[in-house]
Structure formats: C-alpha cells, structure tokens
Amino acid sequence: MNDVCLEREPIIEIVDLYKCYWVGNVAFPALNGIDLTIGRGEFAVLAGRSGSGKTTLLNIIGGLEVPDRGLVKVCQQDFVQRSRDERALFRLYHIGFVFQAYNLIRVLSARENVAFVCQLQGLERRKCFENADRWLAEVGLGEFAQRRPDQLSGGQQQRIAVSRALALNPDIVLADEPTANLDTTNGKSLVTLMTRLNADFGTTFIISSHDPDVIDSAGRLVLLTDGRVVQAGAQPTPPLPPEAACPPEKLSLKTRLLRTFASDQSE
C-alpha cells in the first residue's frame, strides 16, 4: 500500500536549526536543533508553551530572521544564504503573513490594505483593486471594503489580514497566533475560514497557536518544547482530485491504483 501513497512535494525543509538571542552577555536559546519537513498544501499547526520557539521558527521560515546554523529551504530555495533584500523579495512572491495584532495600515481602507501588497508585487493598479475585491469577497467582507481598520471588529480585521495574505497568491501563509486577540466565536470562524481556504486553493498554512480550536483543526500538529520538535505528527496524504473534475480515464496510474485499494478496503 505504501508505494501507491501520494506523496506531498516538500515546500519547507529544515535541518538542524539553531537560534540563540543575546541580550548583553545573557543567552536566550530559542531553537535547539529543529528538523522538520512540511509538504505543499499542508495545514500545519505549531503548538507549544509560550517561549517554546514558535514565533522564532515562523520568522526564520519567512526570512524575517536568520538562524545561527542549520538548513532552511523554502520552495526548494536555500533561504539562509540570501541577503536581507533578496529575502524580502522572495517573501513578497511566496509568503503571506498573518500576525496576532492584524498589522493593517490604519489610514487605508480594507480594500486599499489588500490592494497595496499587490502594488508592491508590481501589478497594475486596476488589477490590484480587482484582486482586493475578489479576496475581500472570498473572506465574506465585500460590503466592508471601504471601511478603515478602526471601523471594523477584531474578527473582521483579521479576515482582512487573511485576504491580504492570500491576495499575494503565495505558496505559504504563515500565521502567528492569529486567534489570540479574538473572542471564541470570532476565533472559531477564523479557523473555519483558513481551513476552507487551504482546502479550496491548496495554499500551505503554518499556524502557531495554543488555542484548542486551532489545534483541533490541524492537518498536522507539530509540538515544540524548549526549541525542539517533540512531536511532528504524520504528514497527511493529499486529497484525491474530485471525480467530476477529472474523469477516470484521465486519472494518473498512481491515483487509479489508490482508488482501487480504497474501494477494496471498504468492501
């Protein structure tokens, strides 16, 4: 059965990663030898106590910080060797960020906040606003497009941050404690939104959290303790393509074999 499993292409490969912060002569070790591979399309949750290294790991994957040592490949590209400007450019085309405090630009409307990042990508103005309208509608906020962040609830602001991340058409969305500032209802609805976007668009999500609702939604749970991965979960196999979209005769041999095995087992 193993040889017919669909394998995910690795989108993040981390080997023997270390990071220590120094404040004067005092060392604060944050990551102590992380090994982790994330496959394309996964919905992975990094869980662990405060101080376990979740933010540091996300920041290194996103190129906001550099490790002391170790290999970090994102979309098959070796990140650690890149300059700060190259990392910023790579991030602009491959990675969307969602932060705990939303980080929207206060003087811009929801629509302008989303369009702005598309302008950074060099898209023409009209296309940027089309993108913004599409992604605001996708997160259910089309009618709030002209409002500024301070005219919206926390839950709505975080949905805008999610649509801003997706508007970049990224390979990966990194979300650092995205529900931590939200009440339970808004937190649950954000989790539902992110899992749906992951399923509908195949975007890889890596979310740090200790919120039970986020942890319950994990396609894979990665548990960190003191800067180490103590549990990495099993990589889920990708879903089969829908029947309607792909007639049986067009399916790959691998998929047809997998389907045959699945129906054999259910009989």
Is residue 258 a contact partner of residue 6, using CB atoms and an 8 Å limit? yes
CA distance 222 to 228: 10
CA distance 105 to 237: 38
Is residue 99 a contact partner of residue 161, using CB atoms and an 8 Å limit? yes
Query: Residue 131, interface with Mg ion (CB under 5 A)?
Result: no
Of residues 15-54, those binding Mg ion (CB under 5 A): 54
CA angle 214, 218, 220 (to 5 degrees): 145
* CB-nearer residue toward ligand ADP: 33 or 241: 33
CA distance 156 to 113: 13
Name the residue with tokens 């970090």: 72
Query: Residue 55, interface with Mg ion (CB under 5 A)?
Result: yes
Among residues 14, 41, 43, 52, which is the contact residue for ligand ADP, using CB under 6 A? 52
Choosing among Mg ion, ligand ADP, none, which partner's interface includes residue 56 (Cβ < 5 to 8 Å by kind)? ligand ADP
23 by DSSP, 3-state: which?
strand
Total residues binding Mg ion (CB under 5 A) = 2
Short-list 95, 8, 12, 80, CA closest to 46: 12
Among residues 12, 47, 54, 129, which is the contact residue for ligand ADP, using CB under 6 A? 54
Query: Residue 100, interface with Mg ion (CB under 5 A)?
Result: no
Q: Which stretch binds ligand ADP (CB under 6 A): 50-58, 105-113, 157-165, 244-252?
A: 50-58
Q: What tokens appear for 243 in the block?
A: 């029947």
* CB-nearer residue toward ligand ADP: 54 or 111: 54
Query: Residue 198, interface with ligand ADP (CB under 6 A)?
Result: no
Is residue 223 a contact partner of residue 48, using CB atoms and an 8 Å limit? yes
* CB-nearer residue toward ligand ADP: 24 or 248: 24
Query: Residue 56, interface with Mg ion (CB under 5 A)?
Result: no
CA distance 223 to 148: 37
Choosing among ligand ADP, Mg ion, none, which partner's interface includes residue 23 (Cβ < 5 to 8 Å by kind)? ligand ADP
Site residues, ligand ADP (CB under 6 A) = 21, 23, 28, 30, 48, 50-56
Site residues, Mg ion (CB under 5 A) = 54-55
